[in-house]
Structure 1
Amino acid sequence: MSSLGKLTKARYLSSVFSLLIMLASVAIIVTNGFNWGLDFTGGIVTEVKLDPSIKAAQISQVLGHDSKQEVSVISAGEPGRWVLRYAKVDSGASADIQSVLAPLTDNVEVLNSSIVGPQIGQELAEQGGLALLAAMLCILGYLSFRFEWRLASGALLALFHDVIFVLAFFSLTQMEFNLTILAAVLAILGYSLNDSIVIADRVREVLIAKPKMAIDEICSSAVKATFSRTMVTSGTTLFTVAALWIMGGTPLQGFSIAMFLGIMIGTISSISVGTCLPEYLKVSAEHYKVEPISDAP
């Protein structure tokens, strides 16, 4: 078997694998739902000032032990100043923060405290969904203009596959889903689209240059021609995201995990779904044949 034949077989196997992943991901999301963060469910945001020597892990441990819930601790930009995000427990939450943090330091100053109501959280969820929908529609419009619909459908399905996979991971693990994760999902859309467009553009070039070549060989040769480029860009981006994951701390952990998974699965889907679906839909050189314009009035 030739190298293109082996690559074609690998593409077919990966496309079946991707289809199973997509179906399993949808089932997981429907079954488990999401562990919505305070951005969507509402809660309390409190800004405090403590001794600069106190670390975020110490604050998170003390607050988590007292409130029996995960408390987000984010640096406010200057030493000793922190933003605390947690679910509403009672009306005296601001005063409780001072007493809870007392074992760490006697100097606990509550600068401000505000409540994010469920109504605001619902609006954020709706706006986030609309943002995803708008992004997908814009991408669909661009792909329809840039490519013939058969190639465009492969790239669009690959995008849907990547987003569903990342969402299913957070649904399965029940990690907190907040606005940072939503931002990562939107970033994944753009990154995955880049890979799909590069491969689809190569498929189109070979279709026009070699119209009599079999479509499975065309798709495989396009993947082979762009494979090294895809590995280099994906690899360097993964190194960057991994560094962010390791050194970014808890506030950026969810974002880093979502990006890491999205880049990996996006590379696979661009090769499998992005090329196999147009092949299944019988894309051919005829669809890119330039028709002469008649000079007749």
Structure 2
Amino acid sequence: MITMKNMTKWRHAGSLLSCVFMLISIFFLSTKGLNFGLDFTGGMISEVKIDQSLTATEIQSKLEAALKQPVSVVAAGDPGEWVLRYAAPETLSDQPEIKTLLTGFSNHVEMINVSLVGPQVGQELAEQGGLAVLITLLVILGYLSMRFEWRLASGALLALVHDVVLLLGFFSITGMEFNLTVLAALLAVLGYSLNDSIIISDRIRELLKANVTLPIAELNNRAIVSTLSRTLITSGTTLISVGSLWLLGGEPLYGFSITMLIGIVAGTWSTMTIATIIPEMTKLNPQHYMPAVISDAP
């Protein structure tokens, strides 16, 4: 059982482990990069209607074998209607018609729509997505700077950076497709992790004002213990919902659910480690929240 006495050691060890994971993530991001999806790189998008007896897995496996590249197959709504996404060849003549490939295993093939998303549009989406993440971090930085003393604000902000870097590192290491759905989940994780960091920072600030003689390490331990039940309940219920999406949502929601799943775990972890270690390292103490003395001198 973890007691107040050795909780500080666990927090320090957890922060060290987080730093190691961040370095590994940065290494893979700088050497391997991300596997951007068609939303960012451009490609072919075909909406088709074929036999209702065929499943997404069957269609995907047959098309990937014929095209020799990954193919995304998403249900379009009505039974038998599918949206197919795949990379466009350098010249359209290098690739067989998708209708010809579908005819090979479907008796009924109707091409509803075929469109080409150029790399210029994909580049624009990538720039807008990166700008969205940057603006989000800047707004969070401004909010934390106004609400907390800079030592607490630095811990909360670094915890957010930790979560983003770990998620991007996971997608770089595994080679999973990074698309707009994953980007949306990444922004959602930022908001979720920020909420956790604000709660723990608020509790630390309250304890600093109420216990002027206790060291910051002891106050951090008390803050974690007092908010632990709330954190576990919130994270647990959210993980149940995300787990349901992962198991039942199918291929279209797989990237979103796995991003949320890792992000929630990483956010809870960083809130109890990095968000509390930084104030200790920067020597936060109760005097920083003592009211300023107003001189009576004229």
Superposition TM-score, scaled by structure 1 size: 0.95
* Letter of the 2:106 counterpart: T
Q: Is the 8 A contact 1:54 1:104 kept in 2?
A: no
Q: Secondary structure at the match of 2:103?
A: coil
Cα distance between partner residues in 1 of 2:14 and 2:108: 58
With over 3 angstroms needed to count, the CA separation of the structure-2 counterparts of 1:94 and 1:108, relative to structure 1, is farther
* Letter of the 1:35 counterpart: N
Task: Give structure 2 stretches of 5+ with no counterpart.
Answer: none
Cα distance between partner residues in 2 of 1:68 and 1:293: 75
Kindly provide the CA deviation profile for residues 195-220 of structure 1, in whole angstroms up to 9, marking residues without a partner as x. 11111100000000111111110011
Q: Does 1:195 align with 2:178?
A: no
Q: Is the 8 A contact 2:50 2:106 kept in 1?
A: yes
Match of 1:224 in 2: 225
Cα distance between partner residues in 2 of 1:189 and 1:51: 42
Match of 1:235 in 2: 236
Q: 1:265 offset after TM fit, Å?
A: 1.1
Match of 1:281 in 2: 282
Task: Give structure 1 stretches of 5+ with no counterpart.
Answer: none
* Letter of the 2:56 counterpart: A
Match of 1:104 in 2: 105
Q: Is the 8 A contact 1:49 1:82 kept in 2?
A: yes
Q: 1:295 offset after TM fit, Å?
A: 8.9
Q: 1:36 offset after TM fit, Å?
A: 1.1
Cα distance between partner residues in 1 of 2:16 and 2:120: 42
Cα distance between partner residues in 2 of 1:281 and 1:71: 50
Cα distance between partner residues in 2 of 1:53 and 1:296: 88
Residues 101-250 of structure 1: matches in 2 within 5 Å?
Answer: 101-250=102-251
Give the number of aligned pairs: 297
Identity of aligned residues (%): 54
Residues 234-273 of structure 1: matches in 2 within 5 Å?
Answer: 234-273=235-274
Q: Does 1:4 align with 2:4?
A: yes
Q: 1:52 offset after TM fit, Å?
A: 2.3
Q: 1:12 offset after TM fit, Å?
A: 1.0
CA RMSD after TM alignment = 1.9
Q: 1:28 offset after TM fit, Å?
A: 1.3
* Letter of the 1:55 counterpart: T
Question: Runs of at least 4 residues of structure 1 off by over 4 A?
Answer: 92-95, 292-297
Kindly provide the CA deviation profile for residues 77-107 of structure 1, in whole angstroms up to 9, marking residues without a partner as x. 1111111110013426997111111133221
Q: Secondary structure at the match of 1:84?
A: strand
Match of 1:34 in 2: 34
Cα distance between partner residues in 1 of 2:127 and 2:287: 43
* Letter of the 1:27 counterpart: F
Q: Does 1:67 align with 2:76?
A: no
With over 3 angstroms needed to count, the CA separation of the structure-2 counterparts of 1:94 and 1:3, relative to structure 1, is same
Match of 1:77 in 2: 77
